[in-house]
Amino acid sequence: MLYSRHVDFPDVDFASEKLLLHFGAVDYRAVVFIDKEPVFEHIGGYLPFTVEVNKASFDLDVSVQDPGDTKEISRGKQSSTPGGIWYPKTSGIWQTVWMEKVPRNYIKDIEIRPNLEGFSLLVRMAETDCSAVVCVAGREVSLKTGEETFMAMENAHLWSPEDPYLYDFSVTAGNDRITSYVGLRTFGIGPDAEGVKRLLLNGKPYFHHGLLDQGYWKGGFYTPMSDQEFINDIATLKSMGFNTLRKHIKVEPLRWYYHCDRLGMLVWQDMV
């Protein structure tokens, strides 16, 4: 398969900015060409990757190969002969592709690890470490990127399927700023009052009442026809009394996990 288009991205100052081309997922082997020159290769059909582009006007080609079930690769439930427990194949670009311009020293990664009292935060930059300001629910903490910092939350509002509370969250570092959300929650295994091991949510036994979610969509197989289909699916299962979805040998677009967070759905994520 070959995807081709011309791209014109306005107002990029390459002396102070970078242009990033993001792929949500491409199944299975993708080679990215800029003006007919290969610049990036990614193997694997479920994880995102990013290509740095050094020009604002260019011809973009993406060549994709998918051996499917003719080779021993991670392919989930895909089959060239669907039937029974096997479903139709999905090949090529099946998640969102998008571009953004960022400062040269942009926020590359944010690691957040909650406990019942607050969050451990680690911010990583693309080039050099610097000072940063993290804001959660209007409360600010200064930190140095590349170093882990703990942010205590007084009167912490814990996340649960019954009360899926999410804190507003932002990080400012140098000339870059990211806004998002974060939930204060913990998962584990521990004894109940009778000493029986249970699944724990926020330190207490919690019954996971869930379904096996294959992640196939009418009309698009791996890809839903709209974001609203994610919402409808999760909300319908919530209304039926379920609080957990086991995502079966597939990784969904990030918006699916976002909707689970905000609607109050636990996720068991299979390895793929």
Q: State pLDDT tens for residues 235-248.
A: 999 999 999 999 99
Please say if the pLDDT value at position 76 is more than 90: no
Nearest CA to 244 out of 197, 196, 218, 206 is that of 206
Residue 50, CA distances (Å) to 101, 202, 210 in order = 12, 35, 34
Beta strands 92-93 and 2-8, pairing class: unpaired
Dmax over CA atoms of the chain, in Å, equals: 66
Q: How far apart are CA 257 and CA 66, in angstroms?
A: 26
250-271 mean pLDDT: 96
In the structure encoding, which two tokens stand for residue 267, read together?
Answer: 């996720």
pLDDT at 21 over 90: yes
If you average pLDDT over residues 231-238, what whole number do you get? 97
Share of residues in the chain with pLDDT > 90 (%):
88
Q: Which helix (H) or strand (E) holds 201?
A: strand 197-201
The residues, ordered by sequence, that sit 6+ positions from 1 with a Cβ below 8 Å of its Cβ are 63, 64, 65, 66, 91, 92
User: Helix (H, G, I), strand (E, B), or coil: what is residue 78?
Assistant: strand
Assign 5 a pLDDT band (cuts: 50, 70, 90): very high
pLDDT for 77 equals: 85
d(CA 230, CA 223): 10
**Cis peptide upstream of residue 28 (ω within 30 degrees of 0):** yes
Residue entry with tokens 């019942």? 116
Provide the pLDDT for residue 117.
Answer: 92
pLDDT in tens, 157-206: 999 999 999 999 999 999 999 999 999 999 999 999 999 999 999 999 99
Q: Does the structure show a pLDDT above 90 at 99?
A: yes
Measured CA to CA, the distance from residue 71 to residue 190 in angstroms comes to 41
Asked if residue 69 has pLDDT above 90, the reply is no
- Per-residue H/E/C for 99-132: EEEEECCCEEEEEEEECCCEEEEEEEECCCCCEE
Rounded distance between C-alpha atoms, residue 169 and residue 133, angstroms: 11
CA distance 72 to 183: 38
Domains of the chain: 2-103 (2.60.120.260), 107-182 (2.60.40.10), 208-269 (no CATH)
